[in-house]
Structure 1
Amino acid sequence: MTAGVMADARITAARDGSLPLLRGDGPLALRRTRADGPYAQVTVVGAMSGPLGGDRLRLTAEVEPGAALRVTSAAATVALPGRVPGTPAAYDTVLTVGDDAELRWLPEPLISAAGSALRMTTRVELAATARLVLREQQVLGRAGEEPGRLTTRLVVRLAGRPLLDQELSYGPGAPGWDGGAVLGGHRAVGQLLVVSPELAEKPAESALLGDTAVLTPLAGPAALVTAVAPDALAVRRLLDEGAARLSVAA
């Protein structure tokens, strides 16, 4: 068995704006930072390099009923190879949002460096009247290098029912990942998921955002923006355009 870092970081946000639980671990250092509006804000700060091959990281956030939480990161996360080439790492995120609560999950991009292998899973449980703005961005390889192997899965449940279950794989060994049906030669990909009770009354309208991004209403009070682009900056611009169309700040 290959040794790696095991870390379990946790956040709990309460209705009164407090953070009853804020505990970092390993490379996942957590800092309370200033935020505009009603949000308690937490910034994830990389306390060490990671995830490296063999690491097992877990970040859990609970937003209690009526609370509002915004989570950002201080810099991009870089998946790197471990001491044994090809040894995979795992990074699991578990998010729970109560009734009349809101979570804005807005980390900086994940960069899949050459030689790395990472499985990243995000699971979200939303109460019936919860609100969510979730942004994910992946960059395949640093400047001038090939990507590592990256598999991402996003699972979202609303009031106990499936809302979205999506898995994507990129890099060496992933069939067709660089073909026209997936990235088409691009090296950055991102998505923005918005869940809000208001979208049940007035669903989002489908829209193309340039040539490489689309806004799609989901079967529920939700909408998804998906984009690919040559680099992280271009993907971010497309996601921001989608956020503006949905009248949310991301």
Structure 2
Amino acid sequence: MSLRATARIAAGPGGSLPVLESDGPLAPRRTRAAGPGWSRVTVVGAMSAPLGGDRLAIETEVRDGARLRVDSAAATLALPGRTPDPARYELRLRVGADAVLHWLPEQLVSAHGSDLRVRTGVDLAPTARLVLREEQVLGRHGEPPGTLVSRLTVRRAGRPLLDQELAYGPGAARGWDGGAVLAGHRATGQLLVVDPAYADAPPPARPLGDQAALTPLAGPAVLVTAVAPDALALRRILDTALDELTAG
């Protein structure tokens, strides 16, 4: 039997969390924040999910002037289910005026035989700031990946800032593992940083070593994309990029 569940988070100024609702396998928990004025929520998996046919969602609102970090206690493991239907995992994020959201979950692992569609939609106020990290590991150790389709759509002040879709595994178009895409790597990810300060002085486009690149967007934002042989190497690349972008 397929599962349908939606968890909800709302952060207010001063570190408040007026809404923190769990549902099914999605259990957001308040955890210790790194500094004054911040809230922190860690998403804990209460059961195995997403499985084939599941419909899961997390709705997050960062209200005007609030600062929120969301992370997770462990990697999300996409597994095959009893039905041939793909699982769907939707993230709906809203960040208000002068608010900050750091969305930093652990990796998503696409296990052999799974079929998962992830959709992340972000709506930002003009003065909002965002740090969003996505990491995908294609298959567990020694196994081929499942099918993974991931779409990220970001709107700022009601206008499109980024809209992209990535697809990997046996259900994707040919060439997903070729030299122009993954080149044999099994971990891939991206880091999106939106900051109004970039409107006047965005970081320049450049490679970050041999496996990553930084690209300024047509808006006050930069996108770092990376591939790596494994999850640990990928995290190191994205952490180094984040430290550089947020220094000072």
Q: Give 1:88-103 correspondences, 5 Å limit.
A: 88-103=86-101
Q: Give 1:169-184 correspondences, 5 Å limit.
A: 169-175=167-173, 176-184=175-183
Q: Give 1:99-248 correspondences, 5 Å limit.
A: 99-175=97-173, 176-247=175-246
Letter in 1 for 2:188: V
Letter in 2 for 1:55: D
TM-score under structure 2 length normalisation? 0.97
Secondary structure at 1:16 match in 2: helix
Aligned residues: 246
Secondary structure at 2:40 match in 1: strand
Q: List runs of 5+ in structure 1 lacking aligned partners.
A: none
Indicate yes or no: 2:89 matched with 1:87.
Answer: no
C-alpha deviation, 1:74, in angstroms? 0.1
TM-score under structure 1 length normalisation? 0.96
C-alpha deviation, 1:108, in angstroms? 0.1
In 1: Cα distance, 2:94 partner to 2:138 partner? 29
- Maintained 8 Å contact 2:55/2:89: yes
C-alpha deviation, 1:170, in angstroms? 0.3
Does 150-159 or 231-240 show the bigger shift?
231-240
In 1: Cα distance, 2:247 partner to 2:221 partner? 12
1:57 corresponds to which residue?
A: 56
In 2: Cα distance, 1:199 partner to 1:241 partner? 19
Q: List runs of 5+ in structure 2 lacking aligned partners.
A: none
In 1: Cα distance, 2:13 partner to 2:66 partner? 4
Structure 1 residues 121-164: Cα deviation after superposition (integer angstroms, max 9, x where no partner): 00000000000000000000000001000000000000000000
Does 35-44 or 149-158 show the bigger shift?
35-44
Distance change (3 Å), C-alpha of 1:248 and 1:75: farther
In 1: Cα distance, 2:179 partner to 2:100 partner? 36
In 1: Cα distance, 2:171 partner to 2:20 partner? 38
In 2: Cα distance, 1:99 partner to 1:47 partner? 33
- Maintained 8 Å contact 1:194/1:224: yes
C-alpha deviation, 1:248, in angstroms? 5.4
1:21 corresponds to which residue?
A: 19
- Maintained 8 Å contact 1:81/1:87: no
1:46 corresponds to which residue?
A: 45
